[in-house]
Amino acid sequence: MTTASVERTITAFLDGDDSLEIGNIIHSTAGAARYGYSGPLVGGTTVYSWSVGALVEALGEEWLDEGWVEFQLRKPVYPDEVITTRVTANGGDVEFTMTKHSGDVAVRGTAGLGVADFLTEITTANDRTPQPEPAERPFITRAVAPLGEDLPAMAIDLSAASAGGYADQKARDAQPLWHGDRCRVHPGWIAQRANALLAHTWRYTAIHASSQIQHLAAVHADQRLLVSGRIESGYERKGHEYAVLDITLSSEDGRDLVRMRQPTIYQVAAR
């Protein structure tokens, strides 16, 4: 049964070094300033991760086994902003917002149990053979972006300690679900795999725009997980170059556990 209303509050924080040496400089003060932002942008999947506790409370653990979520990032989130997640029932599904103390809605989304209609639109890679990270990763631009092509797949040996560390340090989610032998893997970590797969081959300055995520089965730690996918398409909006990333997370025995679509700005417009 869906809980009628859930609310959680967190103070936003930068989940990495504030340095131009990081992989995506939009998450640093100096890097964000190059693109006209007043401070470092907190990663979109990190912001989403702060809503997960409320979503699990509202929908139950079964949401992690077969459930879906889609959300849009509407405003940038900066460190030290107070963010309140509000989840409200809407029939069998839920709606949620993540609102800044200024009153601006940073994230708006919906979630529910079962299989979402959008799943049929998410494509899968033809080649799922994991590849090592290349010695040098070029910077992705519109001129070289492999639109409509598979990305080299990657394998991740995810330990329970690493999965629990993500929940503690990035999501700040203290639920016991994320700890212990073969614990569940936090949905925030799962959502991050889209940009992780892009970063497996390319360097970039990127901003997460939105996500559609379908959980097909429980994702547990202490196994090798395979991330595969493709850049389904691309488009330009307000000077930004977007890539639509279609990603599949598979188990070590070949079962598809999660599929997701994530439009991402991979080339940020100068301001």
Asked if residues 24 and 42 have their Cβ atoms less than 8 Å apart, the reply is no
Asked if residues 264 and 208 have their Cβ atoms less than 8 Å apart, the reply is yes
pLDDT value, residue 232 = 97
pLDDT value, residue 162 = 97
**Of 231, 226, 228, which Cα lies nearest the Cα of 241?**
231
- Based on C-alpha coordinates, what's the Rg of the chain? 18
Alpha carbon 141 to its chain's center: 21
10-residue mean pLDDT profile of the chain (271 residues): values are 84 93 94 94 97 97 98 97 97 96 97 98 97 95 95 98 97 96 97 97 96 98 98 95 97 96 93 73
Domains in the chain and their CATH numbers?
5-267 (3.10.129.10)
Extract the tokens encoding 37: 């932002």
Could you tell me the end-to-end alpha-carbon distance of the chain, in angstroms, rounded to an integer? 47
Q: Residue 238 region, left (φ>0) first, then alpha (ψ -120 to 50), else beta?
A: left
pLDDT value, residue 63 = 98
DSSP labels, the chain: ---SEEEEEEE----S--STTSS-GGGSHHHHHHTT-SSPPPPHHHHHHTTHHHHHHHH-THHHHSEEEEEEE-S---TT-EEEEEEEEETTEEEEEEEETTS-EEEEEEEEES--GGGGG----S---B-PPPSS-PBP-TTT--TTEEEEEEEEEE-HHHHHHHHHHTS----GGGSSTTPBPPHHHHHHHHHHHHHTT-B-B-EE-EEEEEE-S--BSSEEEEEEEEEEEEEEETTEEEEEEEEEEE-TTS-EEEEEEEEEEEEPPP-
